[in-house]
A and B are shown apart, each in its own frame.
Chain A
Amino acid sequence: MSAFVNQLPIGLSIGAVLLLIALGLTFTFGQMGVINMAHGEFIMAGAYTAFLLQNFVLALPAAFLVAGVMGLILERAAIRHFYGRPLDTLLLTWGVSLVLQQLARDLFGAPNVQVPAPSWLSGGVGILPYNRLFIMALAIAGVVAVWLYLNRTGLGRRTQAVVQNRRLAATSGIDTGRVDMLTFFIGSGLAGVAGVALTLIGPVGPTLGTYYIVDAFLVVVAGGLGQLRGAVLAAIGLGLLNSYAEFWSDASLAKVIVFAVLIAFLQIRPQGLFALRSRVLT
Chain B
Amino acid sequence: MIRMLRRNLPFATVAVIALVAAPLLLEPFRLGLLAKYLCYAIVALGIGLVWGKGGMLTLGQGVFFGLGGYSMAMYLKLTEAGGGLPDFMVWSGVEHLPALWVPFANPVFALVMAVLGPMLIAVILGTLVFRQRVRGAYFAILTQALAAAMVILLVGQQGLTGGTNGMTNFFELFGQDLAEDSTQRLLYLAVAVVLGALYLATRQLVNSRYGRLLVAVRDGEDRVRFLGYDPALVKTVTFALSAGMAGLAGALFVPVVGIISPALLGVVPSLELVVAVAVGGRHVLAGAVLGAVVMGYAKTAFSEQFADGWLYLQGALFILVMTLAPKGVIGVMGRLRRARTT
Direct contact of A and B (CB under 8 A): yes
Q: At the interface, yes or no: A90 with Cβ under 8 Å from chain B? A: yes
Q: At the interface, yes or no: A87 with Cβ under 8 Å from chain B? A: yes
Q: At the interface, yes or no: B26 with Cβ under 8 Å from chain A? A: no
Which of B184-192, B201-209, B270-278 participates in binding chain A? B270-278
Which of B103-111, B244-252, B309-317 participates in binding chain A? B309-317
Q: At the interface, yes or no: B152 with Cβ under 8 Å from chain A? A: yes
List of A residues within 8 angstroms of B150 by Cβ = 256
Report the nearest B residue to A256, measured CB to CB: B149
B92 to chain A, nearest CB (A): 14
Cβ contact within 8 Å between A214 and B144: yes
Q: Which of A227-268 contact B (CB under 8 A)?
A: 250-256, 258-259, 262-263, 266-267
B131 to chain A, nearest CB (A): 8
List of A residues within 8 angstroms of B148 by Cβ = 214, 255
B219 to chain A, nearest CB (A): 10
Report the nearest A residue to B309, measured CB to CB: A102
B140 to chain A, nearest CB (A): 6
Cβ contact within 8 Å between B129 and A86: no
Cβ contact within 8 Å between B319 and A92: yes
Cβ contact within 8 Å between A88 and B322: yes
List of A residues within 8 angstroms of B315 by Cβ = 95-99, 102
Q: Which of B99-158 contact A (CB under 8 A)?
A: 125, 128-129, 132-134, 136-138, 140-142, 144-146, 148-150, 152-157
A197 to chain B, nearest CB (A): 21
Cβ contact within 8 Å between B319 and A95: yes
Cβ contact within 8 Å between B153 and A256: yes
Q: At the interface, yes or no: B180 with Cβ under 8 Å from chain A? A: no
Bound Cα distance from A253 to B57, whole angstroms: 26
Cβ contact within 8 Å between A217 and B141: yes
Contacting residue for B156 out of A29, A253, A258, CB 8 A: A253
Q: At the interface, yes or no: A94 with Cβ under 8 Å from chain B? A: yes
Cβ contact within 8 Å between A99 and B311: yes
Q: Which of A116-163 contact B (CB under 8 A)?
A: none
Bound Cα distance from A263 to B138, whole angstroms: 11
Bound Cα distance from A87 to B136, whole angstroms: 7
Interface class of chain A by DSSP: helix
Chain B positions 223 through 238: 1 when the CB is less than 8 Å from some CB of chain A, otherwise 0: 1000000000000000
B223 to chain A, nearest CB (A): 8
A87/B156 contact (C-beta < 8 A), A99-B316, A102-B315, A106-B308 known: no
List of B residues within 8 angstroms of A96 by Cβ = 315, 319
B49 to chain A, nearest CB (A): 16
B150 to chain A, nearest CB (A): 8
List of B residues within 8 angstroms of A78 by Cβ = 319, 323
A116 to chain B, nearest CB (A): 29
List of A residues within 8 angstroms of B144 by Cβ = 214, 217
Q: At the interface, yes or no: B177 with Cβ under 8 Å from chain A? A: no
Q: At the interface, yes or no: A114 with Cβ under 8 Å from chain B? A: no
A90/B137 contact (C-beta < 8 A), A102-B315, A255-B153 known: yes
Contacting residue for B145 out of A97, A217, A253, CB 8 A: A217
Cβ contact within 8 Å between B145 and A259: yes
Q: Which of B152-194 contact A (CB under 8 A)?
A: 152-157
Q: Which of A91, A221, A250, A256 has the most CB of B within 10 A?
A: A91
List of A residues within 8 angstroms of B154 by Cβ = 252
Cβ contact within 8 Å between B222 and A282: yes
Report the nearest A residue to B55, measured CB to CB: A87
Q: Which of A263-282 contact B (CB under 8 A)?
A: 263, 266-267, 270, 281-282
Report the nearest B residue to A269, measured CB to CB: B132
A102/B323 contact (C-beta < 8 A), A91-B278, A263-B142 known: no
A273 to chain B, nearest CB (A): 14
List of A residues within 8 angstroms of B87 by Cβ = none
B73 to chain A, nearest CB (A): 18
Cβ contact within 8 Å between B318 and A94: yes
Cβ contact within 8 Å between A263 and B267: no
B64 to chain A, nearest CB (A): 15
A214/B156 contact (C-beta < 8 A), A35-B137, A96-B319 known: no
Bound Cα distance from A94 to B317, whole angstroms: 12
Cβ contact within 8 Å between A252 and B57: no
A88/B326 contact (C-beta < 8 A), A221-B142, A252-B155, A256-B153 known: yes
A252/B137 contact (C-beta < 8 A), A94-B275, A95-B319, A99-B312 known: no
Q: At the interface, yes or no: A210 with Cβ under 8 Å from chain B? A: yes
Contacting residue for B137 out of A86, A95, A97, A270, CB 8 A: A86
List of A residues within 8 angstroms of B314 by Cβ = 95, 98
Bound Cα distance from A239 to B314, whole angstroms: 34
List of A residues within 8 angstroms of B326 by Cβ = 88
A143 to chain B, nearest CB (A): 22
Report the nearest A residue to B274, measured CB to CB: A91
Bound Cα distance from A270 to B323, whole angstroms: 32
Q: At the interface, yes or no: A218 with Cβ under 8 Å from chain B? A: yes
Report the nearest A residue to B268, measured CB to CB: A210
Cβ contact within 8 Å between B311 and A102: yes
Q: At the interface, yes or no: B221 with Cβ under 8 Å from chain A? A: yes
Report the nearest A residue to B151, measured CB to CB: A255
Bound Cα distance from A95 to B157, whole angstroms: 31
Report the nearest A residue to B128, measured CB to CB: A263
A252/B308 contact (C-beta < 8 A), A87-B136, A87-B140, A210-B267 known: no
In the complex, the 7 A-B pairs of residues with the closest C-beta atoms, listed nearest first: A252-B156, A95-B318, A98-B315, A270-B132, A99-B315, A255-B149, A102-B311
A-B contact pairs, 11 of them (CB 8 A): A78-B319, A87-B57, A90-B57, A92-B323, A95-B318, A105-B308, A220-B141, A250-B156, A255-B145, A259-B146, A266-B128
Given contacts A98-B318, A221-B141, 10 further A-B contacts (CB under 8 A): A88-B322, A98-B312, A99-B312, A99-B319, A105-B308, A210-B267, A251-B156, A259-B142, A266-B128, A282-B222
